[in-house]
């Protein structure tokens, strides 16, 4: 069991991890998973949503998972720029920044696309080659929404990764804000958040980074404040209360007007809690959170495959609630097993710096 947990741990090029961030990733990916599971279940049992709307409304966690993912991306991406411009760490390289994005994210992304393409066209035969191959190419180059003005047909959840890649491209430009003094850069970041969050700016008919820019900027602002307070503020129970309330407000979509504020609180102050951080840094929680990229890419297809192909159409236990939670349990297990295999043999190796230079498969996969 220890060996399996070791193989399921995220690898970082620096060797440093902020475990509570992986804990927040856990809640983000669980929210997205539950949203898609309930959506799929409702497609099969329309009456469920009408009869058990309290389960639907309280279990799903709205769509906060996607927004939290965007903010976490901003937080993590901002760190090397902050260290370079504010802490004067000289090792930063724009070439390495972009090269690392490509070598770290592209292999699992492309491999999963090819697997789904093969499954849909040649195994299940739900799509034709001529119909799907151009869409495959569009998704590989993160341009499906731009070309077709609709979510990617091979894997609809990939629309968010198309947004992410746009942010990775422009992040170095935004990061110049860290060259300014504290007060000025924070005023600029807050101003951009307010502008993009509340002005409703939209420059294109399809979703782009501009529709979600404020969430990424929240990550920049949270990282800025976090780096300033991490050694100055002592952990306190008051931060437990604040962070727990922020998480609950996010999950149950309370006061959506202040969505960015709740995300900022979680990113900035979770490290200053006494008990909340213990939950986020639980080994199971942060391990699943560290696998979120794989789980995010695979979960929706696994949900539909398990529910539509494996389970019988009739109700399990002759009751909707029993049927719902039994299917939820088995789908969750299927996602964990399949995602773990993909993570160990596809994503985790690419987390290692210069992974293509490894001559030993044992070292690449199992060390």
Using DSSP, state whether 149 is helix, strand or coil. Answer: coil
Over range 199-211, report the average pLDDT. Answer: 79
Query: Could you give the CA distance from residue 163 to residue 215 in angstroms, rounded to a whole number?
Result: 11
Tokens describing residue 134: 């151009």
Tokens describing residue 167: 């942010």
CB of 266 within 8 A of CB of 246? Answer: yes
CB of 351 within 8 A of CB of 10? Answer: yes
> What pLDDT is attached to residue 257?
77
- The model carries a pTM of 0.94
317 vs 336, higher pLDDT: 336
Per-chain mean pLDDT for the chain: 90
Q: How confident is the model at residue 4 (pLDDT cuts 50, 70, 90)?
A: confident
Over range 209-224, report the average pLDDT. Answer: 95
What residue numbers bound the domain in which 167 lies?
2-366
Nearest CA among 5, 1, 63 for reference residue 288: 5
Over range 244-252, report the average pLDDT. Answer: 91
Residues 6+ apart with CB under 8 A from 134: none
Using DSSP, state whether 203 is helix, strand or coil. Answer: coil
Tokens describing residue 86: 């504010």
Query: Could you give the CA distance from residue 159 to residue 168 in angstroms, rounded to a whole number?
Result: 15
Where does residue 348 rank: exposed (0-12), middle (13-18), buried (19+ CB within 10 A)?
buried
Place of tokens 């044992």: 362
- Number of domains into which the chain is organized: 1
Nearest CA among 309, 303, 350 for reference residue 328: 303
> Does 61 have pLDDT greater than 60?
no
């Amino acid at each position: 069991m220890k060996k399996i947990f070791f193989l399921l741990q995220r690898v970082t090029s620096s060797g440093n991890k902020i475990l509570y961030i992986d804990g927040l990733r856990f809640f983000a990916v669980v929210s997205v998973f539950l949203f898609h599971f309930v959506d799929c279940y409702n497609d099969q049992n329309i009456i469920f949503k009408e009869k058990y709307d309290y389960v639907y409304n309280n279990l799903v966690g709205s769509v906060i998972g996607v927004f939290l993912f965007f903010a976490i991306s901003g937080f993590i991406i901002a760190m090397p720029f902050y260290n370079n411009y504010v802490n004067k760490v000289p090792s930063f390289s724009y070439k390495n920044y972009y090269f690392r994005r490509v070598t770290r994210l592209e292999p699992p992304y492309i491999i999963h696309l090819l697997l789904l393409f093969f499954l849909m066209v040649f195994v299940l035969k739900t799509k034709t080659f001529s119909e799907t191959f151009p869409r495959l190419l569009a998704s590989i180059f993160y341009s499906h929404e731009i070309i077709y003005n609709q979510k990617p047909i091979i894997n609809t959840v990939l629309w968010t990764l198309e947004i992410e890649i746009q942010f990775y491209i422009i992040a170095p430009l935004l990061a110049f804000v860290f060259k300014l003094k504290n007060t000025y850069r924070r005023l600029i970041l807050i101003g951009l958040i307010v502008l993009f969050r509340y002005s409703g700016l939209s420059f294109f008919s399809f979703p782009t980074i501009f529709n979600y820019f404020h969430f990424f900027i929240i990550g920049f602002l949270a990282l800025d404040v976090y780096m300033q307070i991490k050694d100055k503020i002592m952990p306190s129970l008051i931060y437990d209360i604040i962070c727990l309330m922020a998480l609950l407000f996010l999950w149950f979509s309370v006061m959506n007007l202040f969505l960015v504020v709740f995300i900022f609180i979680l990113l900035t102050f979770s490290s200053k809690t006494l008990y909340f951080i213990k939950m986020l840094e639980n080994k199971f929680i942060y391990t699943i959170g560290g696998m979120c990229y794989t789980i995010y890419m695979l979960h929706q297809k696994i949900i539909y495959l398990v529910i539509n192909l494996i389970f019988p159409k009739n109700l399990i236990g002759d009751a909707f609630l029993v049927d719902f939670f039994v299917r939820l349990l088995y789908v969750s297990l299927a996602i964990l097993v399949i995602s773990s295999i993909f993570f160990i043999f596809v994503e985790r190796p690419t987390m290692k710096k210069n992974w293509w230079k490894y001559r030993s498969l044992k070292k690449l996969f199992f060390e």
